[in-house]
């Protein structure tokens, strides 16, 4: 409706301009017509009086000329007839300023009299004599009331016509604009809003052969294309996510393989205890109390073996990502317990310096454990004999590197520091690239850090690396902490 109102307003302005120009031209035409009629009438009167005036001039009877003017004025209603001398300073001087009169032809001038009433003054020059330098003529004046009445009637007619045409045209444009423009345009606007909210289903119904109809067809075609593209993107995204999850699981299994040697060594000790105790019981040389004690020892070592195997299976099991508030310190401690046997075999010391209070983050426990495991294994591989890897956890106020202007928020910072060879500046720029590795062939896939980086980013965090060649490396994981209002729901 706003567009229709604008069209009506534009039409009315144009119509008002046209009527105004027409009225102005009509008024000017009426004025010229009134002047022409008065001039013709005055010329006829002057032509009738001129022979008598010239005879009186020839006989030098000036009084007779004035008497002739008075008699003629009495015969013609609402007309004043005077004998004027154009150059006279007083007496028979013209009623209008001398400079407005052309003495050698008929001149008509419109001017108000002293009372304010508008008169038409026509001056018809009359030859006084061939040798005379006097300029005289007949002044014929009459009110301009007919012309003013005509102009007033013309204005009233124009205004009435303008009102009627404007009203009728406004109604036609409003109704036609609503049906032909407003309603289809509202449908197009609603459809655009639906597209903005992701609804491409219902096509817009604009049944017209004009530009709006073609626009509606174009929008429907665009929606069909967007719907197809969205379906294609969803399918590709699902495939990408599935592939990414498979890569993560493959990397996890690769890590499980690397852990197997340490786990085997860790299981070997309790198995030897179990075997020795079982042989003693089978020999029958133990008393009842000693047999019971050996049985309890066997049970304890079996539970220890079961715990180690369960931790390894939990780490390697492929599962659907499931985020929930997790205590990061417990998650780190569980990972350290799983990693220690392997690092002991490699003569690398693993230290965990964890706070006593819980640090809660909304994470997928398996994915974050995979990140920590990858970083610990990388740290251990970068060290020589008697290497040292330290893992810490704390609460910090930080801002994302790309949003340094934002307000700092609370993050859990997990630092994994080693005293190994460090990373060169050139390699430091590429460590998170997929398939980039500095290890020997067969020692790594080049996906560990890339997958870890992606997992942390998906959790709303980031990984910061500080390293110097020959001075070790420090990997810092930042994970958003659970907000206080979310803690109430945990």
250-305 confidence digits (pLDDT tens): 666 666 665 565 556 556 666 776 777 787 777 777 777 777 777 877 887 787 67
Q: What is the pLDDT of residue 470?
A: 82
CB atoms inside a 10 Å sphere around CB 192: 13
Q: pLDDT tier at 2 (50, 70, 90 boundaries)?
A: low
Residue 185's Cβ-count burial label (10 Å; 0-12, 13-18, 19+) is buried
Give a three-class secondary structure readout of the chain.
CHHHHHHHHHHHHHHHHHHHHHHHHHHHHHHHHHHHHHHHHHHHHHHHHHHHHHHHHHCCCHHHHHHHHHHHHHHCCCCEEEEEECCCCCCCCCCCCHHHCCCCCCEEEEEECCCCCEEEEEEEEECCCCCCCCCEEEEEEEECHHHHHHHHHHHHHHHHHHHHHHHHHHHHHHHHHHHHHHHHHHHHHHHHHHHHCCCCCCCCCCCCCCHHHHHHHHHHHHHHHHHHHHHHHHHHHHHHHHHHHHHHHHHHHHHHHHHHHHHHHHHHHHHHHHHHHHHHHHHCCCCHHHHHHHHHHHHHHHHHHHHHHHHHHHHHCCCCCCCEEEEHHHHHHHHHHHHHHHHHHCCEEEEEECCCCCCEEEECHHHHHHHHHHHHHHHHHCCCCCEEEEEEEEEEEECCHHHCCCCCEEEEEEEEEECCCCCCHHHHCCCCCCCCCCCCCCCCCCCHHHHHHHHHHHCCCEEEEEECCCCCEEEEEEEEECCHHHHCCC
- C-beta of residue 184 within 8 angstroms of C-beta of residue 4: no
Last residue in a domain, options 115, 133, 156: 156
- C-beta of residue 79 within 8 angstroms of C-beta of residue 73: yes
Instruction: Identify the domain containing residue 376 by its residue range.
Output: 319-490
Tokens found for residue 179: 């049906």
Q: Is residue 211 part of a domain?
A: no
Q: What is the pLDDT of residue 415?
A: 94
Q: What is the pLDDT of residue 395?
A: 92
CATH number where 334 lies: 3.30.565.10
CA distance 178 to 187: 12
CATH number where 40 lies: 3.30.450.20
Last residue in a domain, options 156, 189, 207: 156
Tell me: pLDDT of 33 over 80: yes
- C-beta of residue 47 within 8 angstroms of C-beta of residue 197: no
Tokens found for residue 247: 């890569």
Average pLDDT over residues 34-54: 84
Average pLDDT over residues 232-260: 72
CA distance 456 to 478: 8
384-423 confidence digits (pLDDT tens): 877 899 999 999 998 888 776 677 889 999 999 998 888 8
Residue 71's Cβ-count burial label (10 Å; 0-12, 13-18, 19+) is exposed
Q: Is residue 426 part of a domain?
A: yes
Tokens found for residue 323: 């985020």
- C-beta of residue 122 within 8 angstroms of C-beta of residue 38: yes
Domain count, the chain: 2
pTM above 0.85, yes or no: no
Q: What is the pLDDT of residue 486?
A: 55
331-344 confidence digits (pLDDT tens): 999 888 878 777 77
Q: Which residues on neighbouring strands pair with residue 83, listed in sequence order?
A: 138
Last residue in a domain, options 89, 122, 156: 156
Q: What is the pLDDT of residue 264?
A: 62
Q: Is residue 179 part of a domain?
A: no
Full strand arrangement of the beta sheet holding 80-85: 80-85, 136-143, 118-126, 107-112
Q: Is residue 34 part of a domain?
A: yes
Q: Is residue 259 part of a domain?
A: no
Query: Taking the chain, what is the end-to-end CA distance rounded to the nearest angstrom?
Result: 53
Q: Look up tokens 């002739």; give the residue.
A: 68
Those residues with Cβ within 8 angstroms of residue 79's Cβ, 6 or more apart along the chain or in another chain: 45, 73, 140, 141, 142
Q: pLDDT tier at 442 (50, 70, 90 boundaries)?
A: very low
CA distance 231 to 304: 50
425-439 confidence digits (pLDDT tens): 888 888 887 766 766
Q: Is residue 49 part of a domain?
A: yes
Q: What is the pLDDT of residue 441?
A: 47
167-184 confidence digits (pLDDT tens): 887 777 667 666 666 677
Nearest to 315 by CA among 360, 361, 372, 355: 372
**Percentage above 90 pLDDT, the chain:** 9
Q: pLDDT tier at 108 (50, 70, 90 boundaries)?
A: confident
CA distance 276 to 428: 51
Q: Is residue 463 part of a domain?
A: yes
Tell me: pLDDT of 11 over 80: no
Q: Is residue 460 part of a domain?
A: yes
Q: pLDDT tier at 485 (50, 70, 90 boundaries)?
A: low
Phi, psi of 140 (to 5 degrees): -120, 115
């Amino acid at each position: 409706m706003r567009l229709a109102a604008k069209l009506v307003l534009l039409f009315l302005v144009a119509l008002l301009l046209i009527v105004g120009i027409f009225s102005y031209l009509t008024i000017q035409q009426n004025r010229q017509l009134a002047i022409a009629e008065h001039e013709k009438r005055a010329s006829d009167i002057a032509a009738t009086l001129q022979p008598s005036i010239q005879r009186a001039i020839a006989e030098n009877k000036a009084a007779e000329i004035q008497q002739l003017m008075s008699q003629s004025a009495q015969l013609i209603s609402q007309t004043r007839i005077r004998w004027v001398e154009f150059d006279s300073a007083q007496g028979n001087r013209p009623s209008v300023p001398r400079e407005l009169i052309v003495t050698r032809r008929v001149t008509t001038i419109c001017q108000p009299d002293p009372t304010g009433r508008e008169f038409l003054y026509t001056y018809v020059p009359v030859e006084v004599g061939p040798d005379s330098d006097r300029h005289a003529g007949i002044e014929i004046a009459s009110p301009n009331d007919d012309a003013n009445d005509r102009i007033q009637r013309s204005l009233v007619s124009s205004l009435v016509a303008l009102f009627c045409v404007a009203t009728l045209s406004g109604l036609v444009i409003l109704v036609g604009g609503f049906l032909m423009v407003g309603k289809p345009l509202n449908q197009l606007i609603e459809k655009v809003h639906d597209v903005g909210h992701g609804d491409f289903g219902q096509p817009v119904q604009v049944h017209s052969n004009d530009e709006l109809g073609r626009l509606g067809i174009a929008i429907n075609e665009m929606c069909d294309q967007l719907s197809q593209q969205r379906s294609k993107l969803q399918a590709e995204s699902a495939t990408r996510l599935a592939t990414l999850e498979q890569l993560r699981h493959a990397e996890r299994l690769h890590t499980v393989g690397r852990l197997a040697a340490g786990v085997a060594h860790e299981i070997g000790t309790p198995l030897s205890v179990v075997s020795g105790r079982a042989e003693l019981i089978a020999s029958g040389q133990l008393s009842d109390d000693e047999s019971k004690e050996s049985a309890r020892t066997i049970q304890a070592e079996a539970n220890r073996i079961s715990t180690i195997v369960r931790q390894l299976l939990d780490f390697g099991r492929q599962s659907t990502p499931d985020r929930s508030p997790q205590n990061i310190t417990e998650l780190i401690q569980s990972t350290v317990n799983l990693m220690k046997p392997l690092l002991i075999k490699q003569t690398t010391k693993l230290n965990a310096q964890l706070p006593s209070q819980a640090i809660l983050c909304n994470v997928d426990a398996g994915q974050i454990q995979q990140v920590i495991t990858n970083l610990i294994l990388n740290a251990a591989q970068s060290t020589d004999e008697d290497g040292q890897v330290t893992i810490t956890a704390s609460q910090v106020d930080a801002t994302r590197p790309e949003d340094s202007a934002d307000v700092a928020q609370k993050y859990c910072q997990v630092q994994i520091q080693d005293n190994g060879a460090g990373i060169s500046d050139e390699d430091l720029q590429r460590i998170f690239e997929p398939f980039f590795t500095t290890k020997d062939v067969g020692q790594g896939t080049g996906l560990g850090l890339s997958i870890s980086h992606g997992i942390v980013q998906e959790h709303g965090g980031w990984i910061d690396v500080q390293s110097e060649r020959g001075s070790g490396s420090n990997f810092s994981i930042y994970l958003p902490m659970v907000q206080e209002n979310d803690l109430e729901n945990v």
